[in-house]
Structure 1
């Protein structure tokens, strides 16, 4: 197994173990984090804050992980299925009551000196909302 693939797999093993410190150990000090449908955040402190926010609102596991990389290990991609539970309302998103969801996710990485320097995540937000909204919600009733 390559060093980059091992790094990405350790990152997701730490994610699944809810071990924030091990996740952070995989990242460079100035890691760039492109959050799905949001702005880029830079640095370990911002990433640590993001993880705390996520732990408050969501319980998730990444399953069916596939890691791909380029020839020199400087870039990698991961595809997986996120299995989650929505614990507490997150900002302007719909209300939370323990709804469960399952979505495919794509993540893209840059790696330098055995550390992740960029993480970019993509998933279908509209599909996530469809899965967590109650059946018969006002949006569904008006054809939305």
Structure 2
């Protein structure tokens, strides 16, 4: 299966809240580089992150655009709009009261041997805080 198809399936599973389907597409040694904080190494830490996110946020991604590297080396960039609801506060962030938000974001993914081995997500945290405050 080619990298673009895997990445599209990964995000389709995300939008369907099919966490098992999404996790089936990531490698055991996945490297997750969040917008803030230290990278996570391994499927176990990535799974814990996804569970925490699912408890705090309801998100759907729209306006998806994908870009394949010229080298065709499994690197895919994704640009999208995050449509979310903030349900449970996290440390250091505003109180959660079911606030809705719409936020532009992007990610860089790497696919190797049929699995996502890297996800690096980028968005404007200050804008998100403004939107939910």
Q: Under TM normalisation by the shorter chain, which class is it?
A: over 0.9
Q: Hey, what does 1:11 align to over in structure 2? A: 10
> CA RMSD of the aligned region, Å?
1.0
Gaps of 5+ in 1: 134-144
Aligned residue runs from structure 1 range 32-111, under 5 A: 32-70=31-69, 71-111=71-111
TM score, norm. by length of structure 1 = 0.89
Say how many residue pairs are matched.
132
Please state whether the residue corresponding to 2:22 is helix, strand or coil: helix
Give the superposition deviation at 1:73: 3.8
Bigger relative contact order, structure 1 or 2 (CA pairs below 8 A, ≥6 apart): 2
**Residue 104 of structure 1 aligns to a residue in which SS?**
strand
Aligned-pair distance for 1:92? Answer: 1.3
Match of 2:116 in 1: 116
Q: Secondary structure, in 3 states, of the residue corresponding to 1:37?
A: coil
Any gaps of 5 or more consecutive residues in structure 2?
none
Q: TM-score, normalised by structure 2?
A: 0.96
Deviation at 1:67, TM superposition (A): 0.9
